[in-house]
Structure 1
Amino acid sequence: MRRLETTAPAKINLFLEVLPKPDGADLHPVDTVIEKIDLCDRLTLRVTPAHLDIKSYIPVLVTPENLVFKAAALLKKTYRIKEGVSISLSKKIPVSAGLGGGSSDAASVLLGLNQLWRIQEPVSRLVPLALGLGSDVPSFLFPGRCLVSGFGEKVKTLSTPTKFQYVLILTGVKISTAAAYRWLDDLTYQCHSSKIMVDALKRGRPELVAQKMFNRFQEVVTKKEKRLRGWEKKLDKNFNHYLLAGSGGAFFAFLTGQEFIPLTSILSLQGRGKGEGDLTGSGFLSEENAGNAVKFLRVSTYGR
């Protein structure tokens, strides 16, 4: 049987503004710059005679409610595909952390099955299907750094080639995206434009990009979640530039090349003893504890 192996990268938002709801709309439009990073889930797709199934070492992911399964079912129904697929998911991106893992997985399934099932649609034709799965999904259909606006359907790839380095702070705190949007409804603010970030990226200077980072969610999410307020205080002492990842609860710190981050600082953030810190990425997250343990991981721009 035909098979395909693929990766699904996590994302961070270098800039994220949430705009007011238009009259009669259920959702908020966004204005955001998305950076894909080299923390990836891995998927193996195997064509079957007819049935759909998903396999994972994490039992809670083995459900028809998983976006991976929904993406396959939607594509099969839309194009009246007789074949099925068995999807093996190796999960490395923590869930409910603001890193877009589920959305990235779904986009990878759409792209992979477009090839495996020989549908061969241009990516632009997959955008409406992706949007039906979630507002973040369309951005993962396109390679590289991108500017996303509207309700997630407007995606523009940014040809800004500079590769950046980050430290992910995986707090283990899970935040509901729906709840984060509700909290914003109680906040009055003047909207910012992603133009400041796009201009900084064009100039390619890490320090300038770091200075222009912005996330509208950070103000409300850290107010509502006491544990994240504690993390903010710790991060203030250790990093020059950091931001909440999406709607949280992970953070990321931008490394401009001027920082020196001793292992003792990382250990003090974790509240752990000598020898338990790791910024290399090796062994930071297992199938068994995905999304639960506090971990630090050094990552960079994906695919550059």
Structure 2
Amino acid sequence: MDHAAETREFLTSRRANISPQQAGLPALGNRRVPGLRRAEVAQLAGISVEYYARLERGNLAGVSGQVLDALARALRLSEDDRAHLDDLARIAGPGRRRHAAATVRPNVQRLLDSMACPTFVVNRCGDVLASNVLGRALYAPMIEAARGAVPNHGRFVFLDPRSHQFWVDWDRAADAIVALLHTQAGRDPYNKDLTDLIGELSTRSDEFRTRWARHDVLRHHQGPKLIHHPVVGDLHLTYESLDLPADDLILIAYGTQPGSDSEDALRLLASWTTDHDPRPAHDHRA
């Protein structure tokens, strides 16, 4: 990923999202572009126009935390947007590259296997590196779509038509995947696997390209998920994500409301796994 271009396009897109009225500024004269002008952002942030122009050209090297705070206030950045800006600034400086684990440690796999809810470990590309039995049952359509390769959320959503049945709100799922990939590209722009994935999806999917151009970002936290499973039907789930900092991986666990139809459906899915365990071909564990 071109770090300077990503920085420029991110800041430009956020500037375009704010009207002068929203920023408390008078809207004077003809405006050739949407949102704020560079000079207005600089005024709101308390920095010179020349300095802001340098930042927006992609040169964040040496920028202070105070300036980043001021930019975040001027551009009304969300929490996820601000974290993305911090990542862009870190990469511009002498910070070290991130090196994620390529496989899941046995202790982590034992943790997954001990959990009664569908649980997965993914890397920053959205590859599903490990799961427990119930997790594999839940993601059976994605695993089958991968045809023996490592299942990947982005490829499933944008390149396999089955995803439109699996994700009840497909647009929301697609928006989230792209925003998550944008976030990871800001964290680790030199990750070749991530860059290759983004290139592949941009080439093969108009839906992906359109969303990528928005420069939306999102970090794994928690929230609802609505899935239509081919065996047990609709599942209203919630998820929690936890960072595994030793490996730079993410653990994601799904749950349901106690006493709900979805809880009953998960129990049914658990019983189905007794005879059907869609273990990916790349998983050679005994």
Relative contact order, higher structure (CA 8 A, sep 6+): 1
> Greater strand percent: which structure?
1
Q: TM-score, normalised by structure 2?
A: 0.26
> Greater helix percent: which structure?
2
Q: TM-score, normalised by structure 1?
A: 0.24
Higher Rg of the two aligned structures: 2
